[in-house]
Structure 1
Amino acid sequence: MRVSRVRLGAEFLKGLIGLRILFTCIPWRTHFQALVPLAWALQAAGHEVRVASGPELTDAVTASGLPAVPVGSDEPVVEKLDALLVPEVMAKVQELAERGDLLTDLSENREEELTWERLRWGYQMTQRTQAAMNDAMVEELVEYCRWWQPDLVLWDWLSHAGAIAATAVGAPHGRMLLELDVVGRMRRHYLRVRAEQAPEKREDPLGDWLGEWAEKFGAEFSEEMVTGQFAVEQMVGSMRLESPLPHLPLRYIPYNGPSVVPHWARRDPARRRVLATFGLSLEQAERHQAISMEQMQGMLDALADLDIELVVTLPERFQRELERVPDNTRMVEFVPLHAIVPSCSAVIHHGGVPGFLEAIAHGVPQLALGSACPDMGERGPRLVRSGAGLWIRGDAPEDLDGERVRERLVRLLEEPSFREAAGRLGEELAAQPSPAEVVRDLERIVDRSGSR
């Protein structure tokens, strides 16, 4: 009888002990913010949660109330990426651009455009980019995982350091996706075309890089290090790309970091409100933005006579570069999206997932500008086909002139079909599993893996 009681007590205690869940993320604030709702749901369910990233993200992590594990150097990730632009790389970019043979659109899906030369060049640059963002974190991260022994590793889709560490310690791991999984689809294209090459020409820069790290820690490379063993996807389901990879749909829950709702946003607007937001990362990576300051000025001028309240989020130093701010425009550095989007009649944005999904969540028509986000070549057309918004690709600077933005915005404001379609997408997004429900799915994954 004593033995049975001991066993019963052990099983009872096992049920009370939480799992150890490690999130890894490149040191980029907006990528981290997308992880927070699920991380908090896991913590609220009684599990131990840690967030590992470069030291420059520590303040953002701790401000969310989650424990941070700083790993790697404190050199800003933007500087690491800028260091890739060495003369030999720029010469190759120029050579391919002159031939019209530069693969820059990760959304490209036409087989005739996916030549071996283009794919090979693309993956050479992918490997360099991934190494720049991840290499500095790997050794400390593996050391931490060997000590802490996580039961599950969830890694932001750019944070392959998490996949390396999980492989090194034998923990199950999944990729956290923000955008559509064009990266996973491109990888499948690459492997298909690579298999058609002569054996001596089947290079795989990304696989070799991950394999070298795995070998260093006594493991072997597998495609799971590229894709994760499964993916957690926040994108609205009807827009999701088909994939052979197991996936867990997740309802979008906004997290904008420490936020204050300003007085002007605490009442209904006197006129139709339009939000124009171009991302929190504008000041960090100005040259990667979808819209230039000249185009911004053109947009403001073109919208100046509309009977709207235009709210534009823009860092102060960029506000000072504007020559004119119309009377119908309110300039702010930041406003939490979930506090203002419900009061909007339309949202203009650069394709960033928070603005995109926030508009859908509240049934607000949207206008996406440019292709700064890697999946916009796929997500933009899907938005248009859904009827919930419009997209201007912006391949040429003149594509984003103010009059074109005005014409699209007026359509969103005047044609009821856009709001009706946005409402339908909002209902679909609201029906996706909540973070608390996804916690149960993750617990089952750990249980099946036997990692506990």
Structure 2
Amino acid sequence: MRALFTVSEWPTHWMAMVPTGWALQAAGHQVRVLCAPSQAEPVSRAGLVPVPVLGGMSAVLRNRLGFVAEARAGLWPYPWLPPHPVTGVPMADLAEFDPAAWRRDQEPELARAQRRSFDRALRFARDWRPDLVLHDPVSLEGLLVGQVRQVPSALSFWGPVGTRETRYVRPLPVDHSGTFARHGLPADPVGLVRRVVDPCPASLAPPTDAALRLAVRYLPYNGPGAAREWMLRPARRPRVCVAWSTALSTMVGPASNLLPTIVRALAGLPVEVLVAATGRDAAALGELPPSVRVLERTPLHLVLPGCAAVVHHGGAGSTMTSLHTGVPQLVISCASEQATTGERVAAAGAGRHLPAHLATAGAVAAALGDLLDDPGYATGAEMLRKELHDRPSPARLVAALEDLAA
């Protein structure tokens, strides 16, 4: 069988699909990953074969435009405004960016870029002739290939946010190039999603109208990295991991730069703090007390075992890896998708959620104290871990995908 993956240019979007790719290859199937040129190296490092032909609107611009659309629709949950979609500078007034004028100026070129990406995906599919297509929620190329080539396709969720959400302007991108219409398909593709691959525990099932939901156990792949021998030794104090996205400031603006506040809050508690951060972010923290250790280029799934709690921004990779490990979570959200994730983790009893504008050092310390002192959170996290581990492995998902392709 030939399985074609199409993915966005954001690594944490497609990393959840990597174990499925491994399982397909281990079963003797061929896998190709249509991606942007920027993703060719990380896809190769993950042990899959990239085909770097996709393009179109950058993920940063797409997300910033979405944030502005949410703010204009009254759905933006924070007291600050999102950054200007083009410059990234924080806005004091939504009038600083005119979406209609911007689209008049930029949409022709963006439509051409999107059309080129769609056409390249269709050409590759025509020549390679896949039997099955899997795509992440923002890679419309896979959905288009499945429809045009009449090949079974499935959307692969990366976390507990689905295709039927009420707090977003749109759950999926739309086609601005006219390519979908050229093939008799709607520009808004949500209704075309008929099958999904769902890696979440049942209590956090992403809402969707898809007719077929294929369950799979989430297995964490957070990129390559080396294990640290000292992590296997018991800690003298509870270990707390802080995993903060390096892209948040770029996406959401400087108001999301909460890492110094979080570390300052935790440094005053009787805990050992492990900060998973890049060198640049770590340098911005300044001098740190002995209780805080910075881990550069260490995959999160290697850090969390042995931790009593984790603090993160609500990204899908951090959330799902924490669920897989059974660690109580403090989610400090800076955008709507992350807020939804944090609310669902909290509602399931596996953690706490703090919107970023409420995350003072005192509030962070108090919330973490609750996670560590109340055994109910550890119980809730363990319940979700068991739900997750009861799901079919990627190897068993392969059999379902084979049936789908047949």
- TM-score, normalised to structure 2's length? 0.82
Deviation digits for residues 69-121 of structure 1 (CA, Å, limit 9, x no counterpart): 11045x99357649x87xxx99xx59x95xx743347xxxxxxxxxxxxxxx9
**Secondary structure, in 3 states, of the residue corresponding to 1:62?**
helix
Q: 1:66 & 1:376 partners in 2: Cα distance?
A: 28
Equivalenced residue count is 379
Q: What percentage of aligned pairs have identical amino acids?
A: 29
Is 1:425 aligned with 2:397? no
Larger Rg over CA atoms: 1
Is 1:234 aligned with 2:195? no
Let me know the Cα RMSD of the aligned residues. Answer: 3.4
The question of whether the paired residues in 2 share the 8 Å contact of 1:23 and 1:154 is answered with: yes
Aligned letter for 2:128?
W
Aligned letter for 2:156?
M
Which of residues 126, 143, 149 is equivalent to 1:146? Answer: 126
1:351-362 matches, cutoff 5 A: 351-362=314-325
The question of whether the paired residues in 2 share the 8 Å contact of 1:23 and 1:155 is answered with: yes
The question of whether the paired residues in 1 share the 8 Å contact of 2:114 and 2:176 is answered with: no
- How big is the shift at 1:309? 1.0
- How big is the shift at 1:188? 11
- TM-score, normalised to structure 1's length? 0.74
Q: 1:32 & 1:208 partners in 2: Cα distance?
A: 20
1:244-323 matches, cutoff 5 A: 244-245=209-210, 246-279=212-245, 282-283=246-247, 286-288=250-252, 292-293=256-257, 295-323=258-286
- How big is the shift at 1:283? 4.8
The question of whether the paired residues in 2 share the 8 Å contact of 1:20 and 1:48 is answered with: yes
Aligned letter for 1:311?
L
Question: Partner residue of 2:42?
Answer: 60
Q: 2:302 & 2:112 partners in 1: Cα distance?
A: 36
The question of whether the paired residues in 2 share the 8 Å contact of 1:347 and 1:359 is answered with: yes
Is 1:438 aligned with 2:403? no
Aligned letter for 1:273?
R
Q: 1:304 & 1:222 partners in 2: Cα distance?
A: 50
Question: Partner residue of 1:113?
Answer: none
The question of whether the paired residues in 2 share the 8 Å contact of 1:77 and 1:133 is answered with: no
Question: Partner residue of 1:381?
Answer: 343
* Unmatched runs of 5 consecutive residues or more in structure 1: 1-18, 106-120, 192-204, 448-452
* Unmatched runs of 5 consecutive residues or more in structure 2: 78-98
Question: Partner residue of 1:401?
Answer: 360
Is 1:172 aligned with 2:144? no
| Higher helix proportion | 1
Question: Partner residue of 2:52?
Answer: 70
Question: Partner residue of 2:312?
Answer: 349
Q: 2:229 & 2:197 partners in 1: Cα distance?
A: 36
Q: 1:323 & 1:188 partners in 2: Cα distance?
A: 37
The question of whether the paired residues in 2 share the 8 Å contact of 1:56 and 1:76 is answered with: no
Q: 1:177 & 1:329 partners in 2: Cα distance?
A: 34
The question of whether the paired residues in 2 share the 8 Å contact of 1:299 and 1:403 is answered with: no
Q: 1:378 & 1:29 partners in 2: Cα distance?
A: 21
- How big is the shift at 1:368? 0.5
- How big is the shift at 1:134? 4.9
- How big is the shift at 1:436? 1.0
